Amino acid sequence: MKKLTILLIALVLTASLSSCGKSREASQKTDADVQAKVLATVNDVPIIEYDLKQILKRIPSGMGAMHQGTDRNVLQTLVRDELIYQKGLELGLDKNQAYRLKLAEVEAQIRALKRQEMSALYLRHLNSKVEVTDAEAQAYFTKNAQKIQTKFHVMEIFYRGNETGIAKAHQDLKNGVPFEKVAARQFPPNLPANMKAPWDLGELHWSQIPEPWQSVLDRLAPGQVSEVIKGPKDRFWVIKLVKKTVNPQIAFATEKERITEILRQQKAEALYNSMLAEMKEKAKIVYPK
């Protein structure tokens, strides 16, 4: 029991910056504070169930079962720490530089989380505004029927963040080194004999082809090797088209769902870029020198 009490005190003290980081104005509550159950108030400052949960989830699994009333003990410790926190503010201890640096780091993490989550919510909001009609999907199929009905057997040499490496690989190919030999350098030697070569992607359906490859594949004949292809996130490829297989039986009905999703993504991206440009135009953005 004594060990548990010591552990609880240590955990609460460790989390004191986040659990007791209330503003001087008790009336300033976030939406989460309003929705959460208030477990206690200390000089009108609420301690809510989220504060308690932050401490409890740090307790090792099974440890809480050693002593009944763990929640109550933690709550009492939170009340104590809130009293100490408020007294510290009265004494001006919040001006301590080390304390302020730690707090600034935590606040930066919260701001980053807010931006990340709001960005995801905003993207979902834009997606909900986008509609693709059957006529638009049919027009896309008609325009791209040849590509949609074609499967591409492709091999790749891929590097991430290594432009020098992909340039050397491409030069070796130009010097006559077989594609498979250059591609194999990135993998452990003596791969199992029954294992498919990891650089051989097999036949790719039109919707599986990365966007940076699409215009390149259209120009390649079977057996040809591409130039270096640069993609987003510092990715580089050299690809080899082994063969093309055309299946005229592939029809709009079988591809409608894929086409609709592609058009939806394109529209959402266009709307996102348009809205972002509008926001930038209206915003006052300053980069201090």
Span 118-173, pLDDT tens digits:
999 999 999 899 999 999 999 999 999 988 999 999 999 999 999 999 999 999 99
38-42 vs 235-246, strand pairing mode: unpaired
Model pLDDT, residue 112: 97
Which one has a higher pLDDT value, 186 or 103? 103
pTM score over 0.75: no
The alpha carbons of the chain give a radius of gyration, in whole angstroms, of: 30
What does the mean pLDDT of the chain come to?
Answer: 85
**What domains can be seen in the chain, in order of their start residue?**
2-95 (no CATH), 150-246 (3.10.50.40)
Expressed in percent and rounded to 5, the helix, strand and coil fractions of the chain are 55, 15, 30
Distance from C-alpha of 121 to C-alpha of 232, rounded to nearest angstrom: 23
Q: What is the pLDDT of residue 200?
A: 93
pLDDT the model gives residue 66: 46
